[in-house]
Amino acid sequence: MTTYNTTDVNGLNIFYREAGDSTKPTMILLHGFPTASHMFRELMPLLADQFHLIAPDFPGFGQSSAPDHATFAYTFDHLTDVVTAFIEQLNIDKFYMYVFDYGAPIGFRIALRHPDWILGIVSQNGNVYQEGLGNKWAERQDFWDHPTEAKRNSYRNAFATATIKDQYTFGTQPGTVSPDGYTLDIAYTRTAGYADRQLDLIYDYQNNIKMYPEFQAYLRQYQPKLLAVWGKNDPSFIYPGAEAFQKDDVHAKVAFVDSGHFALETHAAEIAQMMIEYFIDKR
């Protein structure tokens, strides 16, 4: 069964889901935008016999504390600090990690800081290569290079109701995506201060791209077991980003599913089976 927990990390209430036997290998599941740990609600039961699973909500997301952006820096470095402290508080020092979307730059920062912690990586539409950036990122580069308040405000459309629903459904077969995930994400956009903290992170995302060479150097040096499984129809992080892992990591295995950005919404069972075959059956 999955349990739902909250722990204090540096004065923040961090919510997390936990499943599986703690004597099994641990896997930390790191969510993306605009979602939270509920994106793993179908995957976790499928893996609970094989892994000890921990899925936190980042600060400012889901059920975790969301301090005002005037007093809390919503940067990927800072979120990484909090997630790292969360992992340390749970006394976990060896784990697999599943990274998706925003979870990728957070997870790869953790790997850079603590390479000895990492047993293996699942990157599901979790990009760390220029080859994986879709067309929208050129427009964001203009915002990063020449920021204005008007450009910042234009990115409120990134978490508009129609945009969130489209993130879930684009590239999927009609009728295959439950409304549960995107409806909850839309509800979270109504929480106090949501827009400012998310706009801060959209602006800071430029620093993730600047770190791509460091993430790639980590892969070349440590050669972790890595499964890059991609919703191949994702327009944000396009499928060449999955194939690029094989340039740097001899252990990288690439797989595609006929889905979009939120591939777990349609292919959780297939992805779970890939993970078990790659990390458990061949261990």
Active-site positions?
Answer: 261
Q: Which of 33, 35, 12, 34 is nearest to 82 (CA)?
A: 12
Contact 123, 226 (CB under 8 A): yes
The whole-angstrom separation of Cα 179 and Cα 264 is: 13
The two tokens of residue 7 are: 């722990």
Find the distance separating the first CA and the last CA of the chain, reported in whole Å. 25
Q: Which of 65, 70, 61, 11 is nearest to 36 (CA)?
A: 61
Contact 110, 211 (CB under 8 A): no
Contact 25, 119 (CB under 8 A): yes
Cα-Cα-Cα-Cα dihedral sign, residues 59, 60, 66, 68: positive
Query: Reading across the β-sheet that carries 226-231, which strands appear in turn?
Result: 3-9, 12-19, 52-56, 26-30, 95-99, 118-124, 226-231, 252-257
The two tokens of residue 9 are: 């990390």
- Looking at residue 65, its amino acid is S
Task: List, in order, residues 6 or more apart from 73 with CB less than 8 Å away.
Answer: 200
